[in-house]
Amino acid sequence: MRNLRGTCVAGWCLLAGLSGCTAPSAWERSLERGPEASPVQATLAPEITVRRVSWDRVEASLRDLEAQAAASDVHPDEWSEERKQAAKGTLLRGLQISQPGDRVMILGRSQFKTSDGLPEQDSTLRALGTRLGANMVVYSTRVLGKTDKIVQSPVTGSTTGTGWRRERDGNYRPDTYSETSTTWIPIRVTTDETGGIAYYLYVAR
């Protein structure tokens, strides 16, 4: 069995530069390295399980952890190892992970709100988990409500006019022309706002 380190669920570090030349998804743009991640873990897990869990369940666990941190006179980074493990257990129960905390490494997290829609979750999260060395990704999404956004809308117009064309005989004659042009203008639209959260884990078997 691997020697798995215990830590609190704070101390996340934003990751960047994983997408190459393609536009990153909302999952990738918000990806943060977890408190138990290290560079060597990128080759740990040959297979990944992707699970979806209840948004309400995950949200309740995160609210509980936030309340614990707010009520503490000591910063979570300075909590005792026992208290850090208890906080980690709260999160893992919210993710419906049955293994004890000393058998689970939290390698990363994505958390965001977007009005642009979401890509196909399974393949996107599997790819990100592979880069972190995870063997399990637990995620949840929910439509949070309506929001306004600015989009670029095309407006096409045409212009007609008359010019003068010189013929071979030297005389000028009228020449009617028509031109079409498209201008992109910003407009405000109302659309769904979706929340997403995912945890990238290495679970010792």
Does residue 4 sit within a domain?
no
Strands 49-52 and 136-166: parallel
- Cβ(150)–Cβ(186) under 8 Å? yes
What CA–CA distances, in Å, run from 173 to 88, 146, 177, 178, 179?
85, 59, 13, 17, 20
> Which pLDDT value is given to residue 19?
45
150: left (phi over 0), alpha (psi -120 to 50) or beta: beta
pTM: 0.70
C-alpha span between 94 and 129 (Å, rounded): 19
27 shares a domain with 127: yes
Listed in sequence order, the residues at least 6 apart from 85 whose beta carbon sits closer than 8 Å to its beta carbon are 6, 101, 102
Q: How high is the mean pLDDT of the chain?
A: 79
Output the six-digit token pair for 194: 């979706």
Look at residues 123, 101, 131 and name the one whose alpha carbon lies nearest to residue 41.
131
Output the six-digit token pair for 47: 């297979």
Strands of the 49-52 sheet, one edge to the other: 13-14, 32-33, 104-114, 172-203, 136-166, 49-52
Does residue 155 sit within a domain?
yes
How many other CB atoms sit within 10 Å of the CB of residue 195? 17
> Which pLDDT value is given to residue 20?
47
- 12-30 in b/e form (b: 16+ CB < 10 A) is beebeeeeeeeebbbbbbb
Output the six-digit token pair for 201: 């884990």
- Cβ(158)–Cβ(179) under 8 Å? yes
Residue type, 33: R
Q: How many domains in the chain?
A: 2
182 shares a domain with 141: no
177 shares a domain with 93: no
Look at residues 145, 102, 133 and name the one whose alpha carbon lies nearest to residue 15.
133
Strands 104-114 and 32-33: antiparallel
123 shares a domain with 39: yes
Does residue 119 sit within a domain?
yes
109 shares a domain with 76: yes
Q: Which residue has the higher pLDDT, 24 or 45?
A: 24
Q: pLDDT tens-digit profile of 132-190?
A: 889 999 999 988 777 666 667 777 777 777 777 777 777 777 777 677 777 777 767 67
Residue type, 195: G
> Which pLDDT value is given to residue 87?
92
163 shares a domain with 129: no
32 shares a domain with 130: yes
